[in-house]
């Protein structure tokens, strides 16, 4: 990889979509780690909880599910962080998942890590 590419200020964050927090994409994580180390970028693990719409009565359960998934992602992020490499985690309620990933990619540069209470799009 060229020196110019390693110093690129444009790529500060690499977003890795995680479909199943209990079975993370090991190859994608390994590739993201190599790229991030070479480019001086950070890695963000992202999981969109989707699949159904629920009324306000179900909100506490939905938030519990998201919190449990965030706990798994944060553990994975801690395991992957090393030296200069920073790995963060973010979980949100959003649907469809592929659009949620695109939305997160647009804001990942400046967004805080953690749980977002974004409502699913209708």
Q: What is the pLDDT of residues 32-90, one digit of tens each?
A: 999 999 888 899 999 988 766 666 777 788 888 889 999 999 999 998 888 888 999 99
User: CA 37 to CA 24: how far, in whole Å?
Assistant: 20
**What DSSP designation does 54 have?**
-
Confidence grade of residue 100 (pLDDT, cut at 50, 70, 90): confident
Architecture of domain 3-116: 3-Layer(aba) Sandwich (3.40)
Instruction: Give me the pLDDT at residue 95, please.
Output: 80
Instruction: Give me the pLDDT at residue 54, please.
Output: 62
Instruction: Give me the pLDDT at residue 31, please.
Output: 92
Nearest to 21 by CA among 84, 70, 82, 79: 70
Q: How many CB atoms lie within 10 A of CB 96?
A: 13
């Amino acid at each position: 990889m060229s020196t110019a590419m390693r110093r690129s200020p444009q790529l500060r964050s690499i977003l890795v979509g995680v479909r199943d927090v209990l079975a993370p994409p090991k190859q994608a994580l390994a590739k993201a780690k190599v790229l991030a180390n070479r480019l001086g970028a950070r890695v963000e693990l992202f999981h969109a909880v989707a699949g159904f719409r629920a009324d306000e009565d179900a909100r506490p359960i939905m938030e519990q599910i998201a919190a449990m998934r965030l706990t798994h992602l944060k553990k994975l992020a801690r395991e992957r962080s090393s030296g200069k490499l920073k790995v963060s985690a973010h979980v949100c309620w959003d649907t469809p998942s592929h659009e949620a990933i695109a939305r997160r990619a647009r804001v990942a540069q400046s967004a805080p890590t953690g749980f977002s209470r974004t409502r699913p799009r209708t």
